[in-house]
Amino acid sequence: MGLRNLFQRKAVTAARTSPLGAATPVPDAFTSPELQEELRVAWAELAEAAKASKVRNVHACTRTGRHWTEDPVAVRAVAGALREFPDTDSQPTT
């Protein structure tokens, strides 16, 4: 499966929902406060990237065995990927 297939765009419905709603992590009691803060900032970056993109679903995984929603580096990587696929309606076509 290619990278473009991973971020396929679906038809926009009238009620646009956030692709991040179901994946928002729950703070873990075993996570340090510094890591929790870094994770919160990473999720804020991802939320901003999602607003600027028409991507409706995000599926990701890590190689560490830890869920990607609990890893600030992975969350930032997904945000970076979303920034590479901006809203095409705002860009001129050639």
Please report, for the chain, the start and end positions of each structural domain, with discontinuous segments joined by +. Answer: 30-86
3-state per-residue secondary structure call for 51-78: HCCCCCCCCCCCCCCCCHHHCHHHHHHH
- pLDDT given at position 35: 92
Residue 75 pLDDT greater than 80, yes or no: yes
Query: What is the pTM (predicted TM-score) of this model?
Result: 0.59
- Mean pLDDT for 34-59 is 89
Distance between CA atoms of residues 73 and 62, nearest Å: 10
